[in-house]
Amino acid sequence: MEVLPGGGEGVAENADAGVRRAVEAMLMVALDPVPPNLLAQLLEVATDEVERICSELAAAYEEEGRGFALVRVAGGFRYQSHPDQAAWVERFVLEGQSSRLTSAALETLAIVAYKQPVSRAQVSAIRGVDVDGVMRTLQHRGYIVELSRDPGPGNAVLFGTTPFFLEHLGLDSVHDLPPLGEFVPGAEVVEALDRGLRVGSDLVEDGEPIDEPVDAEEPSVAEVFGSGGPVEA
């Protein structure tokens, strides 16, 4: 095709290529299917043009044998893994992702599971460290989800576990989680451990150790977790 001196054909082709790239970029970051009329509005082009471009992109991906596909679902377009790659995707999700949870993520997930609904601040207070990054990871992996908001000051977001979490652990509900009492040591064990940790710092008077008073504001293990099972979401 001959390009006119004024660059008419070239400009049209470049514009079309620009729209294609923009469509690909927006669909790549979208969490849900994007309606063609929304894409058209954002790109300032006709809806029919967006429909045509998406159809051409889908056909091109299929012809090239890509591992992903551009499909139309729920009235919009989205990228998804190709159906013939389902076995590999399943292996990645079930084995590759879940096996890489760090100890920090597992601790945080346990707190959410037993204390839900719970806020980030509450989880952070229990762990003693910032948990924003870990909470985002658990959300991304599909283990926790935003349930509601605290009616108190600040309206903090409250989190809980998901059906995927239960499915992964083979549980029917959070009430099937093992009671925390099975993991919390008895009062005598906690006292013995506390005494052992304070041996080096205890004051001695007339050969007898003087027990320093325990800070009344510091919660015990039992107070942090409670004595019962999981809290109903």
pLDDT tens figures, 126-169 = 988 989 889 998 998 889 999 988 888 878 899 999 988 888 88
Decide if pLDDT at 76 tops 80: yes
Give the residue-averaged pLDDT of 5-15: 53
Residue that terminates a domain, selected from 84, 110, 132? 84
Q: Residue 89: inside a domain, yes or no?
A: no
Taking the alpha carbons at both ends of the chain, their separation in whole angstroms is 65
Categorize the per-residue pLDDT at 205 as very low, low, confident or very high, splitting at 50, 70 and 90: very low
Residues 109 and 192 in one domain: yes
Residues 128 and 71 in one domain: no
Higher pLDDT, residue 192 or 166:
166
Higher pLDDT, residue 213 or 152:
152
Q: Residue 92: inside a domain, yes or no?
A: no
> Residue 161's pLDDT is what?
92
Categorize the per-residue pLDDT at 204 as very low, low, confident or very high, splitting at 50, 70 and 90: very low
Candidates 178, 184, 167; CA nearest to 226 is 184
Question: What's the number of domains the chain is made of?
Answer: 2
pTM (2 d.p.): 0.41
Residues 168 and 70 in one domain: no
Residues 113 and 223 in one domain: yes
CATH number of the domain that residue 35 is part of: 1.10.10.10
Domain of residue 147: give its range: 101-233
Residues 193 and 151 in one domain: yes
> Residue 1's pLDDT is what?
40
Q: Cis peptide before 117, with omega less than 30 degrees from 0?
A: yes
